Amino acid sequence: MGEAQAACQGRPASEALAAVIAALSAQFGNRLVTSQAVREQHGHTLTWVPNQPPDAVVFPQSTEEVASIVRLCAAHVVPVIPFGTGTSLEGHVNAPFGGICVDTSLMKAVVEVHPEDLSVTVEPGLTRKALNEYLRDMGLFFPIDPGADASIGGMVSTRASGTNAVRYGTMKDNVLSLSVVTPQGEVIKTARRAKKSSTGYDLTRLYTGAEGTLGIITGITLKLSGIPEAVSAGICPFPSVRAACDAVIMTIQSGLPVARIELLDALTVRACNNHAKLGLPETPLLLVEFHGTDAGVKEQAERFGEIAAEFAGGPFEWATKLEDRTKLWQARHDVYWAQLTLRPGSTPISTDVCVPISRLADCVEETARDAEEHHILAPIVGHVGDGNFHCGVLLDMNDPDEVAAAREFCERMVLRALDMDGTCSGEHGVGQGKMKYLLQEHGAATLHIMAQIKKALDPLNIMNPGKVVAWET
């Protein structure tokens, strides 16, 4: 059995692991941690998969230090698991074969800003909120907003999306260039700062969404946007989830430049009312936001109100004050915690799918009906402007029957989306949790090419092994 095959089928040899930990301890001192609590913190999954902690956690402060860690691990065939803030939802940061977790939280500098080019270069541990605080006085912002205060490196690695994606795109649309430490410990740069290029393979897109399986991202150059002159947000209730989804479809198809359009079903609205004391009508509703000039957002709002009325939606109420808008969107971002008020003591398991927008109403309605028929508490919320929605299944993880029923429900949700020419994940990523669906989504030939890329770039299979694509594919 070769080293690569051995590495992917079990934990590294104890002697090799001990040598790596000893060398890292000598180099990093107290920035190398082996306590059980810290290791378990870096192996949590927020999903069905049990906690699989790494053998040690190291906190580098530079690209050079990351490269030295990777070279050491490669020499001893020890797995390396990149870590941002740990907000991912599909077991991305678990260590099924043990190894060394590389926590990038100390690498959080804004390296350089080019306001005239609308670009910024940052280290991977910087969080999106910290970046936007830094940019605010320049009249700029980074628009990708997944809700959690995720690290930029993690957002790149999972190809994150969020509430603004309908207008500003996802991470793949907003990354200009990356610095990456390869599985051999070399440092490469995938592109220049130019807005476009037609030279060579697009390595920037290859590493964006690779979930740390091809290398560790240590530098990111991002596109920025100007803070809009005017922002207008509001809520619009609907008599049914289908009516709300149909209004979304009409809004997008009519070319209305909506910045955010979020669906909350009645259960989610109730949870938000419980958690944030909003007093919203407990029916399906849309949270909508427009960016532009004062005249532009007023016109857009009026047109959206007309569309909503066609589907029996309304009254359409606008939050014109900043504090009111902030409260609304904070409640939306806190849905994960708000859901717990619907069943105190339960565990929320969040999953997502994405379908062509023409099938959105069908997919959401069928999923809601499925939950009701099987007596599963699964509030629905979503970035429905691009066909992406989430279910937060609330269950007792100590009840095997309940867990089994919830898993079957989530699987039906994924298969339903795939049958509608959608994807098993619009923004959560693959990790460990959704690997089994890639064959059906992409086909054997495409999955084989992905596996060949993994094997070519990471022949020892040390980079976040056991995620995204199976080594045997």
In sequence order, what are the residues at sequence separation of 6 or more whose Cβ sits closer than 8 angstroms to the Cβ of residue 336?
147, 348, 350, 392
The predicted model gives 98-106 an average pLDDT of 98
| Cα separations in angstroms, 27 against 156, 361, 427 | 28, 55, 37
Looking at residues 427-441, what average pLDDT do you find?
95
List, in sequence order, every beta strand (DSSP E) within 346-432.
347-354, 380-383, 388-395
Residue 384: give its domain's CATH number.
Answer: 3.30.70.2740
Q: Is 220 helix (H, G, I), strand (E, B) or coil?
A: strand
Last residue of a domain, one of 183, 206, 226: 226
Residue span of the structural domain in which 363 resides: 338-419
Contact yes or no for 64/184 (Cβ under 8 A): no
Instruction: Please tell me the distance from the alpha carbon of residue 438 to that of residue 153, in angstroms, as a whole number.
Output: 24
Q: Which residues are CB-contacts of 189 (< 8 A; sequence separation ≥ 6)?
A: 177, 178, 179, 180, 219
CA distance 246 to 308: 9
Q: Is 324 part of any domain?
A: yes
pLDDT of the residue at 9: 56
| Chain segment 312-361, per-residue pLDDT in tens | 998 888 876 788 888 888 888 899 899 999 999 999 999 999 999 999 99
- Look at residues 230, 204, 227 and name the one whose alpha carbon lies nearest to residue 217: 204
The rounded percent of the chain whose pLDDT value lies above 90 is 84
DSSP-derived secondary structure letter, 12:
P
Does residue 425 lie within any of the structural domains? Answer: no
CATH classification at residue 155: 3.30.465.10
Residue 8: pLDDT over 80: no
Across the chain, mean pLDDT equals 93
pLDDT of residue 12: 81
pLDDT score at 45: 74
pLDDT digits (tens, 9 = 90+) for 179-233: 999 999 999 999 999 999 999 999 999 999 999 999 999 999 999 999 999 998 9
Q: Tokens 């999953």 identify what position?
A: 351
473, pLDDT greater than 70? no
* Average pLDDT score over residue span 392-409: 95
Is the same domain home to 355 and 328?
no
pLDDT digits (tens, 9 = 90+) for 116-142: 999 999 999 999 999 999 999 999 999
Query: Are 179 and 217 contacting, i.e. CB atoms less than 8 angstroms apart?
Result: yes
Cα torsion for 292, 297, 303, 308, to the nearest 10°? 100
| Same structural domain, 100 and 115 | no
How many independent structural domains does the chain possess?
4
pLDDT of residue 117: 97
